[in-house]
Amino acid sequence: MKLRNVAIIAHVDHGKTTLVDRLLQQAGSFRENQKVAERAMDSNDLERERGITILAKATSVLWQDTRINIVDTPGHADFGGEVERILNMVDGAIVLVDAAEGPLPQTKFVVSKALKMGLKPIVAINKVDRPDARATQVVNEVFDLFAALDATDEQLDFPILYGSAKQGWMADSLEGPTDKGMQPLFDLLLNHVPEPKTEEGPFRLLGTIMEANPYLGRLITGRITSGIVKPNQNVKVLDHTGKLIENGRVTKILAFRGLERVSLDEAEAGDIVSIAGLPNATVAHTIGAPEIEGPLPAQPIDPPTLAMLFRVNDSPLAGTEGSKVTSRMIRDRLLREAEGNVALRVSESTERDSMEVAGRGELQLGILIETMRREGFELSVSRPRVLLRRNEANELEEPIEEVVIDVDEEHSGVVVQKMSERKADMIEMRPSGGGRTRLVFYAPTRGLIGYQGELLTDTRGTAIMNRLFHAYAPYKGEIAGRRNGVLISNEQGEAVAYAMFKLEDRGPMMIEPGARVYRGMIVGEHTRDNDLEINVLKGKQLTNIRTTSKDEAVRLTPPIRMTLEKALAYIQDDELVEVTPKSIRLRKTLLDPNERKRAERAKEAEPA
């Protein structure tokens, strides 16, 4: 059978997963009466809740006499490691671009990787039904982007389709026709994407996606570079240096057929399949016949830029809400995650009972923490810390990100001011249509930690921020952090509404009456810049003197709700976020006030 392997790459929210839904529908992967969820490829609970793709996934459709393997990729820069690996498996790519927003940082990132690998992309302008669509200008922007990324003449001569994945059509021109559905895209895929390149020789496959299956164990998905594989065949696994990891036997070969997986009796070069039966094989490993000599080349992955400490939860409430609380369990879970996620780096920390986890961004680390708490883990995590490095001249360098902010014109002043306070340099400022302005900055990653929430407040929720790692550059000096101190509980027990009512003028609270608190836990934000210890447990003194005046009704201001991302952005270096399956609490690293004072004095005495 004829084969085509293609990836769909785009910025977040430009409609990749919706497009895959339509391709599956038109190719007849679903029965007429079959009930299919929207965004069928987003199988993970977190993906459904947030409306984003986190893990790359493969599917396949049959069009005429050709099987097309399609890989849906994440759009967030934090999950860029997934996309970099996927491009090894495919021979073509559909670059999906929003007809109003145009190419954004992640589009630039994935297109640069695809062009370097020699892929000839197809450009699909999606969402042309938007009222603010500007499809012709967007095509010119895409061409300029390709030219800036040193595309060859062949790559610059890219075919263009216009359409709306939501309405389920693609066509050669803006006007349509809209009644052919996805047929123009299928036809273009068959004509423009080359057949898979295969090599002569014994069976070889490069692992690209790893997942755990409750019945089959570890599944490694990749494209077969050469040869044929059958169940029960003996194979060996090599890492990227050529070192032997294990000798094993293939127990099952699974291929994608729509949203289902079917087992095969034989798979040949060029096809994308999943192999079971190799407990130690992982991403970037080469699986091959016993006679192969060296490994297949694997794409280098961009380095992580942020790190966090994952520690044992040692608060007085530890173990009351979660079932997995020991350092050994946390360590094993993180090492297991690092095996399948090449963009994460897990290492032992110098501190006791803690592991250092480095990744691409706050969102990637936040998703990992959220997944762990849903599995029943209790842990405490530190503030995200930027990974600095020294160059050949021994100068300190820090990661810089390219930040694109689309904002209403009236709010652009406050955005520019806040970004300059965070040591960002403005590169470009231009109108982006519909009374909006596009601002482009180069900003240090340190300055962007926690800015997302502030940006939405400043712009009344109208700004859209996209960021992408740009390069390492000389260290830009100190950046002012949080301006307010915090309110810290000095007792352990349950918070009382009466006490909280009396303390309201000290600052907004982060807890509700009846919440369990402990000494050293952060219960609110101080109106001034210093930390203040307060007692939220003090009830009203009851006396036997009766009065005719009624007790004043206690009406509390609603507390600040702390989500996981908000909490990670809010805390300072001497604070932690305590994460359990039921709660997210903020606390000081040192719970004892005397220890905190000693640590502060020691810090002041340190030479600068």
Show binding-site residues.
13-18, 126-129
Q: How many Cβ atoms are within 10 Å of 388's Cβ, its own excluded?
A: 13
Helix (H) or strand (E) holding 472: strand 464-474
- Half-sphere exposure (Cβ direction) of 129: Cα atoms closer than 13 Å: 12
Contact 20, 6 (CB under 8 A): no
Helix (H) or strand (E) holding 187: helix 183-192
Structure tokens at 135: 């499809």
Sort strands 122-126 and 92-98 into parallel, antiparallel or unpaired: parallel
Q: Phi and psi dihedrals of 307, rounded to 5? A: -135, 155
Write the burial class of residue 221 (CB in 10 Å: 0-12 exposed, 13-18 middle, 19+ buried). buried
Sort strands 160-164 and 122-126 into parallel, antiparallel or unpaired: parallel
Structure tokens at 48: 């459904």
Q: How far apart are CA 248 and CA 581, in angstroms?
A: 38
**Within the chain, how many helices (H) and strands (E) appear?**
15, 34
3-state SS assignment for residue 459 = coil
Q: How far apart are CA 98 and CA 129, in angstroms?
A: 10
Helix (H) or strand (E) holding 268: strand 267-268
Q: How far apart are CA 478 and CA 133, in angstroms?
A: 41
**Sequence letter at residue 386:** V
**CA 367, 370, 373: angle at the middle one, nearest 5?**
150
Of the candidates 306, 289, 287, 314, the one whose C-alpha atom is nearest the C-alpha of residue 298 is: 287
3-state SS assignment for residue 338 = helix
Sort strands 379-382 and 306-312 into parallel, antiparallel or unpaired: antiparallel
Structure tokens at 167: 């309405």
Q: How far apart are CA 599 and CA 531, in angstroms?
A: 15
Q: How far apart are CA 90 and CA 200, in angstroms?
A: 18
DSSP state of 582: S
Contact 106, 75 (CB under 8 A): yes
Q: In what order do the strands lie in the sheet with 66-72?
A: 57-63, 66-72, 2-10, 92-98, 122-126, 160-164, 169-171
Known binding-site residue numbers for GTP? 13-18, 126-129
Residue-wise DSSP of 140-170? HHHHHHHHHTT--HHHHS--EEEEETTTTEE
Length reported for the chain: 608
Tell me how far apart the terminal alpha carbons of the chain are, to the nearest angstrom. Answer: 69
Q: How far apart are CA 169 and CA 181, in angstroms?
A: 4
